[in-house]
A and B are shown apart, each in its own frame.
Chain A
Amino acid sequence: MNKIIVCIKGVPIPGTIKVDSETHTLKRESLELILNPNDRVAIEMAIRLKEIYDFKVIVISMGPPNVIPILKHAYALGCDEMILLSDKIFAGSDTLATSLVLAKAIQTLSPYSLILTGLKSIDGETAQVPPEIGALLEIPSITNVKKLFKQNGFWIIIRENEYGEEELELSEPFVASINSHTFDYLRPPSLKRLLEVKKIEPVIFTANELGLSPEQVGLKGSPTQVINIFEKKIEAKGTIMEGSPQELAEKLIRILKTKDLI
């Protein structure tokens, strides 16, 4: 059966990351990770394509073992197989090193039809991994895709950019990152699958199993490096106005008048 591979990421809950002002390292208030919301859309796309064309959907993620519940969530949504790429030496990987790990794992799943991803993660927000995977696997990469369907043995794709929408035709395999507003409806997990997934675990691959050395991944394998992180401190500088909304509206209008807006 033809395969769709969906790459997903576990991200920290928004608002739980702080900087330790002394060590300049990230403090995580919670180790709990959530499914990157943009990847939810890629999963939905994969499942809709599975329903039309009878694909097997394989969901894959690189991360620590606390990503497992997220993979299981993807299974409950309709994905068929779960793969976790997990190794201590993966820690600190930048987008290139991450893409290398994903590409290595994806190679072992060949042949496959499509690789789908979300547009970007909400923590790193780089959107770089999908084109990097495409380059490493030497297959086309298309970003910000809104529609995908088959026609006469080719895939037809609609993607969006600043200029408008483009309709493309290409052959599989390729990588596509999916536009985050593609669907009005995202299905909930199925109860049957939620029960099923309690009894199964994702397949785990380590660096060794993927044929990756410590020089290729993690901090060592990452050309880009964070040399400093800091929290932006803001000191109050302006005037604070309090009172009833009526009074405040009057005051605001007076300010707008001084700015020649009225």
Chain B
Amino acid sequence: MVLEEVKLENLEKGHILAFGECYKKMIHPSSFEILTPLKEISESLRKKLILICLTASLEETENFEDLKKCLADEIWFILNPELKDFKDDLWARVLAEIVKNSRPYGFFFPATIIGTSLAPRLAGILKLGLCAHVNSLELKDNQIIMARPTYGENVIAKLISKSVPVMATISLGTFPINYKNKEPLIKKVIFPETFSWESKLKIKRFFPTKKKITKLSAAKVIVAGGRGLKNKENFQKLFELAKLLNAEVGATRPVCYEGWAEEERMIGVSGVTVRPKVYIGFGISGALQHTVGMENSEFIIAVNTDKEAPLVKIANVAFITDASILLDILIEKLKTMK
């Protein structure tokens, strides 16, 4: 594929940039998610939305077709063999050059592990403000206002950044992926000969994850558990229930910290956002940290002893009882029905 080439110093200025995470032959879907709110913002500001992708070569990207229908107006590729591995220092320096030369109005990252490693490093180099795990973006008098739950409690903070570009990482799964018909203009950014592609990090080996990646964000039915299940053994029973209902298992933050469930199953601010048809929360009181990640579920069922628990209040149906006891009975009954 022959791409239009543009020299670093000739990049168009003043637009909105989004980080497109190209790694291990994939464009991470979260990069498409963040384009959804950014498209609205960039249109209102009459600016272009540009996806910035760093990778070694275009050939091997498996979901390249998705790029061609994404919401970005343009995609700028920075291609160099040294970008095959994620080297925090080099990648941040490359992005710093992009920012210095294109003077964007905003630069946003998906809150993946790479995104949350790279964005603060870039913010540090350029001495810019950076908001973390934003789950809402709005414009007021042409100023970007960002919101996020904070203090791990039921507190929402609205934030602005006084430095330009406005920078934020955006929570995973918060926005749906939308596509458009018009293909974005794809360009290759040519760095000057003098730019050093060296890094102090040497990636020696890569061990692909053996864990089956949970498909939580795409699940139709989710059975989730919280501390109200009392112990890991009770929590494990959710997997039995999930099998019977063809569901995925989700968890709250405290439960993941206790080690009852892997962190991949965490729903909420620091985990994933889900929108299943049916969500059942067992022993989950419903701290905002968790509920922002599941409140858009179509039908919410809560099982909890506390009638005043926030999850009980947002549920379509709440069962006031000990979650672990109900879970046992439910599994027994469902087994006999099969």
Given known A232-B154, A249-B333, contact A96–B124 (CB-CB < 8 A): yes
Residues 158 to 173 of chain A near chain B (Cβ within 8 Å): 160-171
Q: Is the CB of A132 within 8 A of B245?
A: no
Residues 115 to 152 of chain A near chain B (Cβ within 8 Å): 120, 122-136, 140-144
Which of B4-12, B50-58, B75-83, B112-120 faces chain A?
B112-120
Which of A51-59, A84-92, A217-225 faces chain B?
A217-225
Q: Does A256 contact B (CB under 8 A)?
A: yes
Residues of chain B within 8 A (CB-CB) of A143 are 88, 113, 116-117
**CB-based nearest A residue for B213:** A162
**CB-based nearest B residue for A103:** B124
Contact of B278 among A96, A99, A243, A261 (CB under 8 A): A261
Contact with A along B89-128 (1 / 0, CB 8 A): 1001000000000000000000011101111111111011
Q: Is the CB of B318 within 8 A of A239?
A: yes
Q: Does A231 contact B (CB under 8 A)?
A: yes
Residues 114 to 166 of chain B near chain A (Cβ within 8 Å): 114, 116-125, 127-133, 145, 149-163
Main DSSP-derived SS at the A contact region: mixed
Main DSSP-derived SS at the B contact region: mixed
Q: Is the CB of A255 within 8 A of B161?
A: no
Contact of B86 among A124, A134, A161, A246 (CB under 8 A): A161
Instruction: Kindly provide the distance from the CB of A173 to the nearest chain B CB, expressed in whole angstroms.
Output: 10
Residues of chain B within 8 A (CB-CB) of A232 are 149, 154-156, 288
Q: Is the CB of A161 within 8 A of B113?
A: yes
Q: Is the CB of B158 within 8 A of A135?
A: no
Contact of A125 among B122, B270, B326 (CB under 8 A): B270
Cα–Cα, bound, A135→B92 (Å):
9
Given known A26-B151, A168-B203, A246-B329, contact A127–B132 (CB-CB < 8 A): yes
Chain A residues touching B, range: 35 or more
Q: Is the CB of B203 within 8 A of A241?
A: no
Q: Is the CB of B318 within 8 A of A238?
A: yes
Residues of chain A within 8 A (CB-CB) of B246 are 261
Q: Does B180 contact A (CB under 8 A)?
A: no
**CB-based nearest A residue for B308:** A236
Chain B residues touching A, range: 35 or more
Q: Does B221 contact A (CB under 8 A)?
A: yes
Residues of chain B within 8 A (CB-CB) of A251 are 319
Cα–Cα, bound, A110→B209 (Å):
37
Residues of chain B within 8 A (CB-CB) of A131 are 88, 92, 117-121, 124
Q: Is the CB of B301 within 8 A of A95?
A: no
Q: Does A37 contact B (CB under 8 A)?
A: yes
Cα–Cα, bound, A232→B128 (Å):
29
Q: Does B212 contact A (CB under 8 A)?
A: no
Q: Does B185 contact A (CB under 8 A)?
A: no
Given known A135-B92, A237-B313, contact A123–B162 (CB-CB < 8 A): no
Residues of chain B within 8 A (CB-CB) of A12 are 151
Q: Is the CB of A224 within 8 A of B161?
A: yes
Given known A222-B129, A249-B326, A259-B278, contact A37–B269 (CB-CB < 8 A): no
Q: Which of A96, A169, A239 has the most CB of B within 10 A?
A: A96
Residues of chain A within 8 A (CB-CB) of B170 are none
Q: Is the CB of A125 within 8 A of B133?
A: yes
Q: Is the CB of A141 within 8 A of B88?
A: yes
Q: Does A22 contact B (CB under 8 A)?
A: no
Cα–Cα, bound, A202→B247 (Å):
52
Q: Does A234 contact B (CB under 8 A)?
A: yes
Cα–Cα, bound, A12→B160 (Å):
24
A sample of 18 inter-chain contacts (CB < 8 A) reads A26-B151, A96-B127, A120-B270, A128-B116, A131-B120, A133-B124, A160-B113, A163-B23, A170-B200, A223-B162, A224-B162, A227-B145, A228-B157, A245-B321, A248-B319, A252-B301, A253-B333, A255-B301
Binding site for A on B (CB under 8 A): 23-24, 28, 85-86, 88-89, 92, 112-114, 116-125, 127-133, 145, 149-163, 200-209, 213, 221, 245-247, 257, 259, 263, 269-270, 277-278, 288, 299-301, 303, 307, 310, 312-322, 325-326, 329-330, 333-334, 337
- Extra contacts, 9 of them, besides A142-B88, A161-B114, A259-B299 (Cβ < 8 A), are A131-B88, A135-B123, A144-B113, A166-B207, A169-B204, A241-B317, A244-B321, A252-B330, A256-B278
